[in-house]
Amino acid sequence: MDFPSWKRFFLSIGKYSDYEYLILDLSETFPELSQALDLCDRVYTVSRKGSNAFVKMKSYQNWLFTNGKESLVKKTTICELPYFDGMGGAASELHHSILAKYILQKKLLPLDVEEEEKEEEGTQGRLRKQSPGECEEIV
């Protein structure tokens, strides 16, 4: 699918649904990925502790700078989530999943706007790692 099609798709979801957030699995990138991410107010990248996610995040960050996409660095937050067993199932059931429960318990969305503005001051030149209480692991 080309970027204009993605853009129409994203905008139609925002216009014709009650969704406040759109979560995409971008493990497979597409040529217009940066254009799609530019449409976002915030970008959360999910990684798992102990995985090869560090290398992927470094590669992503290098790609952003190499391609002149520093603006995406400011709105990107890296969330380290635990492993969730049994994440299979139909997409229609995801809002009842263990991941959905985790997000609700941790109140990951939305971020407080004032807190976000303060955090933006210190994000130039690097991806922002989660702050205390944000995207943290359930104990």
* pLDDT computed for residue 37 by the predictor: 85
CA-closest candidate to residue 42, choices 55, 58, 23:
23
* pLDDT computed for residue 123 by the predictor: 44
**Residue 115 resides in a domain:** yes
* pLDDT computed for residue 71 by the predictor: 87
**Residue 4 resides in a domain:** no
**Residue 31 resides in a domain:** no
Higher-confidence residue: 5 or 27? Answer: 5
* pLDDT computed for residue 88 by the predictor: 57
Give the pLDDT band (50/70/90) at residue 114: very low
**Residue 96 resides in a domain:** yes
Tokens of 53: 């996610």
Tokens of 82: 């635990």
Going across the sheet that includes 128-129, the strands are 43-48, 76-81, 128-129
Distances (CA, A) of 110 to 1, 7, 18, 61, 117: 29, 23, 15, 24, 13
Domain with 83, as residue range(s), is: 41-129
- Count of the separate structural domains present in the chain: 1
Pair 138, 105: CB distance under 8 Å: yes
**Residue 16 resides in a domain:** no
Pair 76, 46: CB distance under 8 Å: no
Higher-confidence residue: 17 or 2? Answer: 17
CA-closest candidate to residue 111, choices 125, 132, 95, 94:
132
**Residue 18 resides in a domain:** no
Does the pLDDT at position 135 exceed 70? no
pLDDT digits (tens, 9 = 90+) for 22-71: 777 666 666 677 888 888 888 887 776 666 777 777 787 888 888 888 88
**Residue 98 resides in a domain:** yes
pLDDT digits (tens, 9 = 90+) for 67-103: 888 888 888 887 776 666 665 555 555 556 666 677 6
**Residue 34 resides in a domain:** no
